[in-house]
Structure 1
């Protein structure tokens, strides 16, 4: 894994062997950020990274100068890795949170310009994150929510569905509010 662009471009992310995350592939991540480059001014956004895993997506936003990145991860090993890696990269506005994503979404009072969720593909009920994000008050007006999922899920009938992108076995559903 590596950071693709920004201040820390090319830096590698080497998680310990006991991390059980399935990180977004570099290929999918690079293509996702190519799309986002045309949609966002990274320095003007607050990002929420749900099911942060290794922190790879959050580091990418931070490297590109996001105003803030909040990375939510329940697994203590993953959370500690994210915290230490963000500190090692010198990310000043990177905020790891050790919490259950579903409970966090129900209690979070902050608003974000972009929310990214990459729940484990085999997590029962992972798709309930979609209404929790979109029906809550998490996204600012015009904000974007990206849900990474396997090909067995389809959100095209959701009222806030905007577009989807597929890169191999990685599927991104984009939702836009407002």
Structure 2
């Protein structure tokens, strides 16, 4: 697996032999084409929950993001993200304005803690077995505790066979697409959706 586009294009991602389900390049390209069109990645603070290989968060950093927090409960997987970020920091495209932090913690625990300031983009890519009820609670916690703010775009990946998630109060699912076995939901604050339409 490699970074698809941007300042770190072509950089290889350290990938564990088992235990993660990386987003396919087709799905990743579709997600980032949309986020690029909306202009939400430039100078963005990015949160990558259930980070796995860190592919989504690192792709966002490559395409104009400024700060990445990758949250992964598996210590071996988190260690590989740290390894990839160390490689990025040796890349000539890394600048002093960029920041990346790996947090070894359950996504649910991270989401339930108060955030210092909202993120611009939040990726959520839980295991397919992650229940819809738990997913809805996670979304509600992000909104309630300040990690997701007025201008935040939440990108949620689930099995296409899973039940449709429920957006927190005051939020809505503004679009959803299926890519084979994967369903991708875009969730935004209700007041932002009229402004978002102008970027498309």
Q: TM-score, normalised by structure 2?
A: 0.81
Give the match for residue 68 of structure 2: 69
**2:148 pairs with one of 139, 148, 156:** 139
Separation in structure 2 between the aligned mates of residue 88 and residue 35 of structure 1, nearest angstrom: 27
Unpaired runs of 5+ residues, structure 1, are none
RMSD of aligned residue pairs (Cα, Å): 1.8
How big is each residue's C-alpha offset from its partner over 1:124-155, in whole Å with a ceiling of 9 and x where there is no partner? 45413222223332122221111110122213
DSSP-derived class of the 1:164 partner: strand
Q: Report deviation, 1:26.
A: 0.7
Structure 2 gaps of 5+ residues are 192-200
Number of positions where the alignment pairs a residue of Structure 1 with one of Structure 2: 177
Structure 1 residue 45: Cα displacement: 1.1
The alignment partner of 1:71 has SS state of: strand
Q: TM-score, normalised by structure 1?
A: 0.91
Separation of aligned partners in 2, 1:21 and 1:81 = 12
Q: What is the CA–CA distance in structure 2 between the aligned matches of 1:108 and 1:21, rounded to whole Å?
A: 27
Q: Secondary structure, in 3 states, of the residue corresponding to 1:30?
A: helix
CA contact under 8 A between 1:119 and 1:126: conserved in structure 2?
A: no
Does the CA-based 8 Å contact 1:74-1:101 persist in structure 2?
yes
1:129 to 115, 135, 138: 138
Shift of 1:118: 0.3
2:187 is paired with a residue whose SS is strand
